[in-house]
Amino acid sequence: MEKAMLVTDDVSTSLASSSQQPPNWVQDAVFYQIFPDRFRRSEGSLARKEHAFQPWGSPPSRTGFQGGDLDGIREKLDYLQELGVTALYLNPVFASAANHRYHTYDYYAVDPLLGGNDALRRLLDDVHARGMRIVLDAVFNHVGRGFWAFHHVCESMEQSPYRDWFRIRGYPLRPYTTPEAGNCNYEAWWGLPELPKLNVDNPVVQDYLLDVARHWIDFGIDGWRLDVPEEIGTPGFWERFRTVVKGASNDAYIVGELWGTGRGWLDGDRCDGITNYELGRLALGFFARDSLPAEGISISGYAVPGLEAAAFAGRVEKMLKTHAWEYALASLNYLDSHDMPRIHHLAGGDAGAVRLMLAFQMTMPGAPIIYYGTEVGITGAGDPACRKAFPWHQPETWDHDLLSHIRWLVQLRREHEVLRRGYCIQLRARDAVFAFKRTWHGRIALVVFNAGRSDTRVQLTNVGGTVEHFTLTDARDSSALRCIDGQFEPVHVPGRDVRIFTGREDRPPST
Burial of 113 from C-beta contacts in 10 A (0-12 / 13-18 / 19+): buried
**Dihedral over Cα of 19, 22, 28, 32: its sign:** positive
Answer whether 439's CB lies under 8 Å from 447's CB: no
β-strands 456-458, 491-493 pairing = antiparallel
- Whether residue 155 lies in the annotated active site: no
CB-based contact 234:205 (threshold 8 Å): no
Count of Cβ atoms closer than 10 Å to residue 6 Cβ: 16
Q: Write the secondary structure of 451-502 as one string of H (helix), E (strand) and C (coil).
A: CCCCCEEECCCCCCCCHHHEEEEECCCCCECCEECCEECCEEECCCEEEEEE
227 annotated active-site: yes
**Inter-residue contact 446 to 2 (CB < 8 Å):** no
Q: At what angle do helices 351-363 and 277-287 cross, to 10 degrees?
A: 140
Distance of alpha carbon 485 from alpha carbon 43, whole angstroms:
63
Q: Which of 37, 71, 137, 257 is catalytic?
A: 257
3-state SS assignment for residue 14: coil
Distance CA 247, CA 251 (A): 10
Q: ∠ CA(455), CA(426), CA(444), 5° rounding? A: 90
Query: Distance between CA 219 and CA 97 in Å, rounded?
Result: 24
Indicate the SS3 state at residue 302: strand
Catalytic option among 227, 278, 336, 399: 227
Inter-residue long-range contacts of 200-204, CB under 8 Å, 24+ positions, other chains counted: 200/140, 200/141, 200/232, 200/234, 200/237, 201/234, 202/164, 202/165, 204/164, 204/165
DSSP letter assigned to residue 145 = T
Burial class from Cβ neighbours inside 10 Å (0-12, 13-18, 19+) for residue 172 reads: exposed
Check: CB of residue 136 under 8 Å from CB of residue 168.
no
Rg (CA), the chain: 24
Query: Cα separation of 423 and 321, whole Å?
Result: 12
Answer yes or no: are the C-beta atoms of 88 and 422 closer than 8 Å.
no
Q: Are 142 and 195 in contact (CB under 8 A)?
A: yes
Residue 38 to residues 88, 119, 133, Cα–Cα distance (Å): 15, 16, 20
Instruction: Judge whether 7 and 320 are in contact, CB under 8 Å.
Output: no
- Positions marked catalytic: 227, 257
